[in-house]
Structure 1
Amino acid sequence: MEGASYARTPRIKIRELKDDYLKFELRDTDASMANALRRVMIAEVPTIAIDLVEIEFHLRVKCMTDQTLDVTSKDLYSSDHTVVPVDFTDPAGLDSSENRGIIIVKLRRGQELRLRAIARKGIGKDHAKWSPAATVTFMYEPEIHINEDLMETLTLEEKREWVESSPTRVFDIDPVTQQVMVVDPEGYTYDEEVIKKAESMGKPGLVEISAKQDAFIFTVESTGAVKSSQLLLNAIEVLKQKLDAVRLSEDTVEADDQFGELGAHMRGG
């Protein structure tokens, strides 16, 4: 937004936190920083993933029954005890027998699989297998103001009709006062259905909805390579390193401009 100014002291508030899910608020910054954080979380937070696989397949007696044997990621054993396959087991312990990891192969009677997998550290920018985020989205926090005086000119039936025009049920009617209230502002998807409905009822200006330019709501789902909370912390650290590199580059160029050969020497020239 042209002419807008933002306090460069971004704040984060965690709303919901699980090992593989995170919802948080980012405030007092602008869309460029929000999008930079999103991109870093997806593509530049390093993780460890299987990079090279050497497979030997032999028809030898290993599966001794007539039932199909499922070989999964949980059957992989690492030489480094700190590196383990992602655990997809329900934290509550429910149906743990069904959560045996990602299936690598199904073996029939008499078949054997020998597999040597090499895990390497990398980032999602190089290959999607290193991306720690399944999805990272953010939305502008909506700011909704109802014109109470204009709303009171509607009958109860008209109020219900207007409230029901919202596809995501952002509004409701107080059963006692019969006043329209905002119950789920973040459910608004900027579809403008309620605005169009108000205009069709001859009540333009019944509601004003705008996007806060310095407040964002993030939803993050982790692949399990790192916990969602650690993913956010790592992304912030990567972003700080990038900003420090830009600041250092600017300082070096400025020194070069001011001190000529001395500045060039500082850059190793």
Structure 2
Amino acid sequence: MGAQDMERQALNVFRMRLLGAEVRAVHSGTATLKDATSEAIRDWVTNVETTHYILGSVAGPHPYPMMVREFHAVIGKETRKQALEKWGGKPDVLVACVGGGSNAMGLFHEFVDDKDVRLIGVEAAGFGIDSGKHAATLTKGEVGVLHGAMSYLLQDDDGQIIEPHSISAGLDYPGVGPEHSFLKDIGRAEYYSVTDEEALEAFKRVSRLEGIIPALETSHALAYLEKLCPTLPDGTKVVLNCSGRGDKDVQTATKFLKV
């Protein structure tokens, strides 16, 4: 795990260690998700006879994106079932945050063939989409290869990876799952971005209004939902995937929010 992410996700690290896991810090590069993934792959190929590599996102080489998508597809299946029970039909719009893109793909996959259902992914715009400090890969990226997959990446003119930025550790990745790139290219899914500041405001607002502390990742989707809803007709059925809980992010939020 990237050393910077271990600091940002201290609660999760403690929980993993409490349950018996060994968590190794990666200090190379930006000490975030990209570098942790690179080190995990290096260790895997070096010790392939005794090591099994497991990835939690829909990024990386085949068959990992497909495997993770299938495991996460329960999100979309449960959404369809619950929508039928609650509304008697499908949702009109699905919204989810996108870093590597696993929670969004889990939600979207069930509905890809339902052309009347809008699929909306929300990326991290960091300090702003034109600031150079963001993780909006699908919005500003170019096609390249990272971690064994061709997808949209944040890279310079020489193909070198640009350091991403997001207040959310889970969105702080310079690539994205290749299936998201495909959905973007064929026009099946829409992708937008939200800044750190907007995500923090949504984090605070939802906590106070709903009594739910959302993850900072999810807060990006919630912030975009506030922009989206005024553009929709009355009665539009929207499902937002609350992909994580925010107790792991409270330490980060206290540095930026006054409550």
TM norm structure 1: 0.22
Larger relative contact order (Cα-Cα within 8 Å, sequence gap ≥ 6): 1
Structure with greater proportional strand content:
1
Which is greater in Rg? 1
